[in-house]
Amino acid sequence: MTRRPIRPGAPLSAAPLLLAALILSSSVPSLSAQTGTDAPALVRRAAEARLAEDWFEAVELYLAALQVNPAYTDAIQGLAESYYALEEYGQALTRVTEARRFKGDDPALLSMEAFIRIGLGETAKASELFRAVLARLPNDLEARFGLALLDLRSGRSTDARARLSESLRISPRNARALLSLALISADAGRSRDAQTYIESALRYHSQDPRTQYVAARLAARSGREREAVDRARSALELRPSYGEARRLLASLLLDSGDPGTAAQLMESAVARDRDDALAWYTLGVARSRQGQTDPGIYAFEASLSLRPDDEVARRALEDLVIDATPVEDPRRSRVAAERFARGRQYESNREYERALAEYRRGLKVDPYSKPGRERYAELLRLRGKPSSYLAELEFLKSLDKADPAILDAAENYASALSGAVGRSWGLDQLLLGKRPYRIAFFSLPGQGPAYHPGVGAVLARALRDETARSSRYAVSSETAAAASFADAFRSARDSGADWFGLVRTEETERDIRLSLEVYVARTGSPAASYSSLRSGNERVTRAVSHLAGLLESAPPLRGTLLRRNGDKVLVDLGRNDGVAAGDTLLVVRKGGIAPSPQGIGIAYREADVTGEIEITRTDEEVSEGMLRRSGYLDRSNLGDSVVRKPDPPKPETGDAAAGKTPPPGNPAPQTEIPSGEPVWPGLFEEIRRLR
C-alpha cells in the first residue's frame, strides 16, 4: 500500500491542486502522443513513481492513462491513492467513488474509502465501511488495521492492541501490525514489549525503509542515540527520497552536537525540493547552532516564505536575530514587522490582550521601533495603566523619537500622575526590583523527535520569556537542555533557585503538547504538574500562554516593605498584583519566608509575623497602607516581606465536625491533562502514516 507523503509543510489546498490537475489533463494528450505509451504502461510508470513517493509525477501519469482509457479502474484507483497521499481527501473520495461505479463494493476500494473518510474526520462512516469488508473477509488485514486506527482515535489503545495482535495471529510477519504494536507499546511505557515487536519487524523486514525509520524513532525515544542514528541512515540509504528519515537523522545529529552534518543533509534536501519548508527550517537550526547567523536567517526566512503561519520557525528566527545581531541591525525591523502587523490586526478585532502580546514580542526583536512602541503604549493606556504608558513615552523621548504629540502627552500624564502613590513617595515604581521568587527552566527531549527539530529548546525559551514578564518570578537568563532530572536538580540548587521546571514538547504537524513539571530546587520534590494540549492555528502561542498563566497564578502573593513614615508604609505590590484598597497584608521578618518543601508555596512561623498592613491606596505596582504592630514592640523594618493575610478556616460541618471518618471512596484519577482536553493525537498520526 502507499504511504502518506514525506514532503513536509502544510497540505496543498484543494484549489491549487485542482488547477494543477486541469493543467496536467490538458497536457496529457501530447504526453501520450509523444511517448506512444498505452494506458497499462502509463499505469506501471505511475506505480513506480508512487513507490518512490513522487506523488506529483504519479498524478500526471495516472491522468495520462485516463486520457487514453477513461474507464481504466487501476488508474482511477491509483489516482485516488495518490491524492490520499497528498492529503487531498476530497479529490481522493471523488476518484474512489468513481472507481466503485466500475468495480462495485470491491473490498480494497471500500477500505480505501474508509481511510479517506478518516482523513475527512468521518469516523462513523469509516467504521461502517471497514465492518462491511470484514463481514465478507473476516481476516482482511487492511480493514483490521483501519478499525485499530479508529480505536486509537477514540483513545482505546487496549482495543487497538488486541486487534493488531489478532492480525499478527493471522499473519505473523505483518510489518504494519508489528510496527504499530511497537509504537503503541512504547507509548504505554511497555518498552520491553516495544523492543520485542521492533526486533521481529527488523528480522523479517530489515530492507523496508519504514521499518528502519520506526526502529530509529523508538531507539531515540529510549535514549539509544547511536542506534537511532544508524537506523535513520539505513532508512535513508534504502530510500534516498525518504524526507522523514532525512529530517529524523538531522534532528538526531543536532541533538548529538553535530550541526555541520545536519546542515549538509538539509542542504541536499532543499536542493532536491526548494519548496520543502521544514527542510529550510531545519537548515536554519543547524546553521544557527554553527554560529552562522546570515545563513541561518536566510534559511528561516525561506521557510517562512513557504509557511508564513509556522510559529516555531518564526520564533526561531526571532531568537536568532535577538541573540546574534546588533540592536540597530535593519533586519530586526524587517523581522519584527510581522508581529506589529498582527498586533494591529488584533487591535482592530478588539482582542487587546493578544495585541499586547504581539507588540511585546515585536519590541523584544526591535526595541527602537517608534510605531510599534507607540501602539504598545496606547494599548497600555487603554488598559488602565497610565504609569506604564508614561514610561513608554519617556523611552521614546530618550531615543529622540518623540514628536510634539508624544511630548504633549508625556507632559500631561506626568502632571496627572504627580499625586499617584509612587510619585508621592518619590519613587519610580516601574524600576522596582520585584520578582520575589526564583525559577529556572530546563528543556527535556519529548517522546522521540518532534515535527520541528529543536522545537523543545525554542518553546522552553518561549515559556521562560513569557514567565519573565511576570512580576513574581526572577527567571534564569538561560534555558539549558537537561540530560536528566539529576542534572537539572543540581544546576537549579547550585544557582539558588526556589523551583525549577522541566519542559517537554511533543508535536505533530497540527498539534502540540507542552508539559511542565515543577520541582522544589532545595529538595527536588515535585511541586506542580501542568500540561497544555493545543491544535489548530496559533497553537504554540496558546499553549505557551496557558502554561505561563498557570505558573504565574501558582505562588502566593509576596512583596517587600519599601518605605515607612510612622505607621504609613509603602509596599511593592499594586493593582497589577491583584491588591486593592481594604486588603490586609501580613509583615513577616526579613528572611523568615522560605519555599515550602513541597508544592509551589511558602512557609513562615507565626512568631516571625511582626504586623499587619491595611491597604488604603493603590498604584500599578505599589500600594500605601497603615501598619498595625503585632504585640507591644514595633518590630517591622524596611526590607521585611509582606504576604496576603490568610482567610480564616471555615468551620467544619457534617461528619468532619463530628469527628467521623468519611467512608472510603474512589478518588478522581489524577491525569496530566486537565479534564476536558482531548487525548494526544500523536500516536494516531504516527501509526496512520504506516498505511
User: Residue 563 belongs to what H/E stretch?
Assistant: strand 558-565
Considering the chain, what percentage of its residues have pLDDT values greater than 90?
63
Query: pLDDT at position 654, please?
Result: 54
- Burial per residue of 14-50, b for 16 or more beta-carbon CB atoms within 10 angstroms, e otherwise: eeebeeebeebeeebeebbeeeebebeebbebbbebb
Residue type, 501: G
Mean pLDDT of 412-422: 87
Cβ pair 157, 184 in contact under 8 A:
yes
Given a cut of 60, is residue 229 above it in pLDDT? yes
What would the DSSP string read from start to end of 115-162?
Answer: HHHHHTT-HHHHHHHHHHHHHH-TT-HHHHHHHHHHHHHTT-HHHHHH
What's the pLDDT score for residue 433?
Answer: 73
Residues 6+ apart with CB under 8 A from 193: 181, 185
Which residues are CB-neighbours of 366 under 8 A, at least 6 positions away?
332, 333, 335, 336, 372
Strands 568-571 and 558-565: antiparallel
The label of the residue with cell 532536491 reads 272
* Per-residue confidence band for 632, with pLDDT thresholds at 50, 70 and 90: confident
**Measured distance CA(150)–CA(163) in Å, rounded:** 11
Does residue 243 or residue 234 have the better pLDDT? 234
What pLDDT was estimated at residue 269? 92
Instruction: Classify 519 as helix, strand or coil.
Output: strand
E strands in 194-320: none
What does the pLDDT read at residue 479? 66
**Is 148:164 a contact under the CB 8 Å cutoff?**
yes
Residue 679: the pLDDT is: 54
Stretch 219-245: mean pLDDT: 91
Torsion of CA 342, 348, 351, 357, to 10 degrees: 30
Where are the domains positioned within the chain?
Answer: 325-418, 437-552, 558-644
How does pLDDT run across 51-110, given as a tens digit for each residue?
877 888 999 999 999 999 999 999 999 999 999 988 899 999 999 999 999 988 899 999
Q: Is the pLDDT of residue 665 over 70?
A: no
**Single-letter amino acid, residue 463:** L
Q: Is 430 exposed, middle or buried (0-12, 13-18, 19+ CB in 10 A)?
A: middle
What's the rounded Cα separation, in Å, for the pair 17 and 88? 8
pLDDT at 449 over 90: no
Instruction: Quickly list H helices, 496-647.
Output: 539-552
Alpha helices in 429-538 (DSSP H): 455-468, 485-495
**Cell matching residue 273:** 525540493
Query: Where does the pLDDT of residue 31 fall: very low under 50, low under 70, confident under 90, or very high at 90 and above?
Result: very low
148 pLDDT more than 60: yes
Percent of the chain at pLDDT exceeding 70: 89
- Residue 335 has a pLDDT of 96
Integer Cα distance of 370 and 678 in angstroms = 43
Q: How many Cβ atoms are within 10 Å of 505's Cβ, its own excluded?
A: 27
The CATH fold assigned to 437-552 is Rossmann fold (3.40.50)
Q: Are 481 and 447 in contact (CB under 8 A)?
A: no
Q: Identify which has the larger pLDDT, 437 or 418.
A: 437
pLDDT score of 652 more than 70: no
DSSP assignment of 457-480 equals: HHHHHHHHHHHHTSSSEEEEEEEE
Whether residue 360 is predicted with pLDDT greater than 90 in this model: the reply is yes
Which pTM value belongs to this model? 0.82
Q: What is the amino acid identity at position 231?
A: R
Measure the CA–CA gap between 579 and 568, rounded to whole angstroms: 17
Same fold, 325-418 and 437-552: no
- When the pLDDT of each residue in the chain is averaged and rounded to a whole number, the result is 87
Q: Is the pLDDT of residue 330 over 60?
A: yes
Bridge partners, 500 (sequence order): 440, 519
Q: Cα–Cα distance between 408 and 415 in angstroms, integer?
A: 11
Lowest-confidence region among 198-212, 388-402, 638-652? 638-652
Q: How far apart are CA 271 and CA 625, in angstroms?
A: 68
Q: Which three cell numbers stand for residue 529?
A: 504538574
For 563-579, the pLDDT digits (tens) are 999 999 999 999 989 99
Is domain 558-644 in CATH 2.40.10.410, yes or no?
yes
Q: Is residue 173 within 8 Å of residue 683, measured between CB atoms?
A: no
Choice between 190 and 655, residue whose per-residue pLDDT is larger: 190
Per-residue burial over 573-588, b if 16 or more Cβ lie within 10 Å, else e, is: bbbbbebeeebebbbb
68 Cβ partners below 8 Å, 6+ apart?
Answer: 32, 38, 39, 42
In the structure grid, which three cell numbers stand for residue 419, read together? 499625586
The reported pLDDT for the residue numbered 542 is 94
- What's the pLDDT at 662? 43
Rounded CA separation 619/624 (Å)? 8
What architecture (CATH level 2) is domain 325-418?
A: Alpha Horseshoe (1.25)
Confidence of residue 448 (pLDDT cuts 50, 70, 90): low
Task: Say which amino acid occupies 77.
Answer: Q
Q: How confident is the model at residue 6 (pLDDT cuts 50, 70, 90)?
A: very low
Axis-axis angle for helices 259-272, 243-255 (nearest 10): 160
Q: DSSP 3-state helix, strand, coil percentages of the chain (rounded to 5)? A: 55, 15, 30
Residue 691 and residue 686: Cα distance in Å, rounded?
Answer: 10
Cα–Cα distance between 28 and 38 in angstroms, integer? 12
Per the listing, cell 513507490 goes with: 51
pLDDT in tens, 261-302: 999 999 999 998 899 999 999 999 999 999 999 999 999 999
How far the first Cα of the chain sits from its last, in Å, is 6
Question: Distance (Å, rounded) from C-alpha 615 to C-alpha 556?
Answer: 18
Confidence of residue 670 (pLDDT cuts 50, 70, 90): very low
Q: What is the structure's pLDDT at 73? A: 92
Q: Are 626 and 566 in contact (CB under 8 A)?
A: no
pLDDT at 27: 43
Report d(CA 8, CA 307) in Å as an integer. Answer: 10
Q: What is the pLDDT averaged over residues 245-252?
A: 92
Q: Which sign does the torsion angle of CA 371, 376, 381, 385 carry?
A: negative
List all residues 6 or more positions away from 14 whose beta carbon is below 8 Å from its beta carbon: 88, 90, 91
Give the torsion sign (CA, 352, 353, 354, 357). Answer: positive
